[in-house]
Amino acid sequence: MPELPEVEVSRMGIEPHVLDQKVVAVVIRNKQLRWPIPDEVHLLVGSPITAVTRRAKYLMLESEKGSAILHLGMSGKLRIIDKAVPVEKHDHVDIEFENGLVLRLNDPRRFGAFLWQEAGQQHSLLLKLGPEPLTDEFDDKRLFEKSRNKTGPVKNFIMDNHVVVGVGNIYANESLFKAGIDPRRPAGKISKKRYQLLTEKIKETLALAIKQGGTTLKDFTQSDGNPGYFAQELLVYGRGGKACTNCESTLLEVKIGQRATVFCKGCQR
């Protein structure tokens, strides 16, 4: 599943091609994604896109009438292509623009979404989301206060979208390693000082991933629409059984919340 940096890079790649462009058609080939596609998405037709924004892992194409909300789910990808490009299997949605380009959603597993948000309103899926991790609203004070009396693992805590959005499995592993915190530790047992360091490492890790992913944008219209996980040096994720880059101890891999979790018993406590 794409994580926040991958979704942000998709937003950056899409924006130059659709901003201020009028929508001339919305083509729905399969209405049943994770949720049924509402008829209101056709309200985009005739309106220019005024902004391409992101909230958590949701992309929004904004117009005066409202916003189309896109989510890639487990297997979805977005491509900017010429409208003459033949339709492929699992191409469920096209948004056509006056410049002859199409934003096409392909989703083999159909866990993605294409929804509608009325102008001036906020969709119910977005109402209870926590702050964006790269904003001032997300800080160590929030993490510390929200963590009090929490007995579950700190890794699950920082992946909770009510606490902060967008800290997915890969970047939770990496941030906890950089902060020297054992992912199994109860969230409520971690000090404010350590949460300060963890907050810094979450911001640093996500910002670096977005920066690295931004280098893939030159040929976005020619790509497969899926930036994937960027060519970056991951310190722990996917490296279970290998040597720690700090102390050369063997990295351990366990399951926390049904997700692969890799850490160094020597460096993380």
Question: Does 2 participate in catalysis according to the annotation?
Answer: yes
Catalytic residue among 3, 62, 96, 174: 3
Q: Which of 123, 88, 115, 112 is nearest to 102 (CA)?
A: 88
Catalytic residue among 2, 5, 183, 227: 2
Torsional sign, CA 142, 178, 205, 238 = negative
Determine which helix (DSSP H) or strand (DSSP E) holds 80, and give its type and residue range: strand 77-82
The answer on whether 109 is annotated among ligand-binding residues is: yes
Catalytic residue among 34, 185, 259, 265: 259
Fill in the amino acid letter for 9.
V
The answer on whether 90 is annotated among ligand-binding residues is: yes
Other Cβ atoms closer than 10 A to 103:
26
Catalytic residue among 55, 57, 79, 194: 57
Q: Could you write out the DSSP letters of every residue in 111-146? A: --EEEEEETT---GGGTT----TTSTTS-HHHHHHH
The answer on whether 29 is annotated among ligand-binding residues is: no
The burial class, CB within 10 Å (0-12 / 13-18 / 19+), for 215 is exposed
Point out the residues that are catalytic.
2-3, 57, 259
Which residues sit in the known binding site for DNA?
90, 109, 150
